Amino acid sequence: MKSLNQLMLGSKAAVIVVDVQNDYCHPEGALPRAGCDVSGVAEMMPQLHKLLHSARELNVPIIFIQTLHERATDSEAWTTRSSGRSAQVCRRGSWGAEFYEITPEADDIIVNKHRYSAFVNTRLDSVLKTLKIETLIMTGVSTNVCVESTARDGFMLDYHIVLASDACASYSQTAHDMTLENIEGYFGKVSEVARLIDIWMDKKAEEPVRPKSAAHPAFG
C-alpha cells in the first residue's frame, strides 16, 4: 500500500472541490434556511483556501464540482431525497448554485453533476484519465454525502483517495466523523491540510516543479 507521501507527490494528484456553493454553504442558502448547521463550513473554508493556494503554486490540477439541478434531471426517485427538503437546491441559473467564497481560475476545471456522486453521468472520469490523475484529494461539502459518495466511486474506479479532513464540512460533527472513519477504514487515507501542504513543500524543495503550461490542457 502506498504511503500518504507517495500518493501526494509527482504530477498524478488533483484536488477535487465538491459542492462549495451558496445553497450548501452560505447562511442564506437553501439548506441553512431549512435548518442545516453550516458552522462547519466556516471552520473549513480557511483550510480549503490554503490548500487551493498551494495547489496553484505547484500546478496541481483543481477540479471544481458544481451541482446543478433542473427539470430535465429531476427524476421521480431523485426528488424524494431528504423528504423533499432539497427540491429547490442549486437550481440551474440561480444564486444558490453559484460558488461560495471560491472562484475557479482560467486553468481550473469545472465539472457539473446532478447526483450526489461527481462520477455519475458526468465527464469527471474522462477528465481525470486525460490528465493521467491517480490520486484524488477530496474536499468540500457535505463530507458524509457528496464528498463521500464521490470518494467511494473514485476508489472503486481505481483512484487513490486522500480526504482532507479539515477542508471538508458536514452539517453535524457526528456525520463528518463517521465519514473520516469510513474513508480511513475502507477507501483511502485521511489527513489535515497542513500535513498535505508540508509534503508538497518538502518535494518542491527537492526537485523543480513542472512548467505551468504542461500542468493540464484547458477544459471548458
Residue in 141, 142, 163 with CA at minimum distance from that of residue 151:
163
Cell match 424524494: residue? 80
- Clarify whether 25 is annotated catalytic: no
Q: What are phi and psi of 106, to 5 degrees?
A: -60, -35
What's at 204, amino acid-wise? K
Beta strand pairing status for 189-191 and 160-169? Answer: parallel
Catalytic residue among 19, 23, 153, 166: 19
Q: Catalytic: 19?
A: yes
Q: Which of 23, 113, 166, 168 is catalytic?
A: 113
Calculate the alpha carbon distances from 63 to 38, 154, 157, 163 in Å: 23, 14, 17, 15
| Cβ-contact 21, 161 below 8 angstroms | no
Q: Which of 25, 36, 90, 146 is catalytic?
A: 146
Q: For residue 113, indicate whether it is catalytic.
A: yes
CA angle (120 as vertex; 156, 163 as ends), nearest 5: 50
Grid cell of 17 as nine digits: 472541490
Catalytic positions, written as ranges: 19, 113, 146
